[in-house]
Structure 1
Amino acid sequence: MFQIPAFDFAGAPWLVLVFGVLLWIQARRPLRRQQLRTMGRLMRNIGLSMPALLTLRLLLLPIPLLVASWADRHGVGLLNWLIPQTGYWPWMGGLLGVAAFDYAYYWWHYATHKVPLLWRFHNVHHTDLDMDVSTAIRFHFGELLLSVPFRAAVVLLFGVSFWAALAYEVVFETAGQFHHSNWRLPARLERWLNAVVVTPRMHGIHHSIVRDEFDSNWGTLFSWWDRLHGTHRLDIPQHELTLGVPAYRDERELTVGALLKMPFGPQREWRLPSGERPETRRKSPER
């Protein structure tokens, strides 16, 4: 077993603490009205997350870290070639490594929507009919397995250091919990935050059943990448959003067992059970 004390004794407890705090905050300051019973969804999402969390700890985290250690020792990767490893430069390399990882993950997220094999697994995440902090752990373990080679390749290509890769994983999971949470931040504060990071209102639009809203806001940590590529949206009021995937509107179809089997069965078209496609809304000023 690959020992990662910094994650096991600091990172993991931090993530559990953030999860609990966000559960408490969103219950007191909800952003969107929930359609389903909170406890039932919470238990379902936690149950689905167990294989994914094991995959994260046993494969998704250690393999890229092993690659990062090897790249550090052999001076492999763009950052190792471009940045001197003396003085303050390693800190600069670490920060650039985090940014590079996040930019690469923007494109991975895009691929999980556009590549049919990847979408089969990512679809499980989007079928949640509500969205809160528990949606951040609602992932099929197959999606995490498929992302292992991608993350290892990113580490190798950019020469992301061991500590930058580890820090990014903790920050990545923290950011995911934050922007999936159903926390109503003051609108002005959220606009300020969104100048830098992905926020709950921004990511809520990404979980819409309306296709052009769903095809936006791909970022995980920084909102810069969406602004750079013209995919940033903050123009739909949260009360107008219908969340989930159009073809899966019945909670009884979304049990843990059904979700685990979903990627391996027939895939449904992006239509409501009635056969209609969700209508595109006219854009309004960002709010």
Structure 2
Amino acid sequence: MKFLFAKFDKIGVPLLAGAAAALFILQAKYQLRKRVRPAAERYFENGSVALAALPTLRFALLPAMYAAAKWSNKNGVGLLQHPGIPKWLKYTAGFILLDYSNYLWHVLLHKWPLLWRFHNVHHIDMDLDLSTAWRFHIGENVASVPYRSLAVALSGVPAPLVVFYEIVFEGCTAFHHSNLKLPFWFERRLCNFIVTPRMHGIHHSIVARETNSNYSVVLSCWDRLHQTLRLNIPQQSITIGVPSYRSPADQSPKHLFLMPFEKPRPWQLPNGEVPAREELPGREHLLP
């Protein structure tokens, strides 16, 4: 299994680091949602989770997906392995298939209780910004290895595309988790094509109906296709997080690591109230 990816390490990583630095500065200057917790505390908590989880992406997930692609390419397995398919179409269709498989994976993370235990570590963050983009439990990242590798093999995508898509995937994840306030006119158009901060902010709402929407990662078309798109929630009306985890004590690194192995709490506030919101018309129309 190949572990060295020169283009990813020498080109992709610096690009992602530069994008992260730019987003970090911009989200501080142009803030979309008001913070509810001290930034330093959150950066420590989210950084602790990321420190354990991020290496699995580089040293387990990427090599596994690349190996799956090489195997499918060598053995002619997968949807795109027909010899008559031109190279440009393989790369275009391959990108689309990879992105669709990640939409389905995200839905699975929410719908399968076992996976939700791990993914919930990401969702109980009470603010949403760039650091949340790396706050994934190591167990979730490990679980993604067989799923995403199988998706690569069944799709039959070219092996180099796996590396390119992963760079785009990580960059878009950082972008739409950021607390960057884009010009509304621009974001209203942009979310027709890719996932944006306002769109993904709705996905992190404590209202269950809103959390169970906007699963797309790069291309936003999958939510439109599956009718899971929801844009009609004003950002300042959103409370970020999960209702049953509203205490700062829930955010400690120790609790975040152990949380998947505890009994899940019901989707309700500490006072027993279930967060709700009156359904507004025009689900596909972005609101400020």
User: TM (normalized to structure 1)?
Assistant: 0.96
Task: Output one character per residue of 1:112-163: Cα deviation in whole Å (capped at 9) or x when no partner.
Answer: 0010110000000001000001110000010011111111111111101111
Q: Does 1:69 align with 2:70?
A: yes
Query: Match for residue 193 of structure 1?
Result: 190
Match of 1:78, SS?
A: coil
Select 2:125's aligned residue among 121, 128, 147. 128
Query: Match for residue 210 of structure 2?
Result: 213
Could you tell me how far apart the structure 2 residues matched to 1:254 and 1:38 are?
Answer: 13
Sequence identity, in percent?
45
Query: Match for residue 234 of structure 2?
Result: 237
Q: Describe how 1:1-287 pairs up with structure 2 within 5 A.
A: 2-81=3-82, 83-84=84-85, 89-285=86-282, 286=285, 287=287
Could you tell me how far apart the structure 2 residues matched to 1:169 and 1:28 are?
Answer: 28
CA contact (8 A) 1:83 1:90 kept: no
Match of 1:182, SS?
A: coil
Tell me how far 1:83 sits from its aligned partner: 4.5
Deviates more, 1:50-59 or 1:23-32: 50-59
CA contact (8 A) 1:236 1:284 kept: no
User: TM (normalized to structure 2)?
Assistant: 0.96
Structure 1: gaps (5+ residues): none
Aligned-CA RMSD value: 1.2
Could you tell me how far apart the structure 2 residues matched to 1:82 and 1:41 are?
Answer: 51
Could you tell me how far apart the structure 2 residues matched to 1:15 and 1:250 are?
Answer: 32
Letter in 2 for 1:103: Y
How many residue pairs end up in the alignment? 283
Tell me how far 1:94 sits from its aligned partner: 1.1
4+ runs deviating over 4 angstroms: none
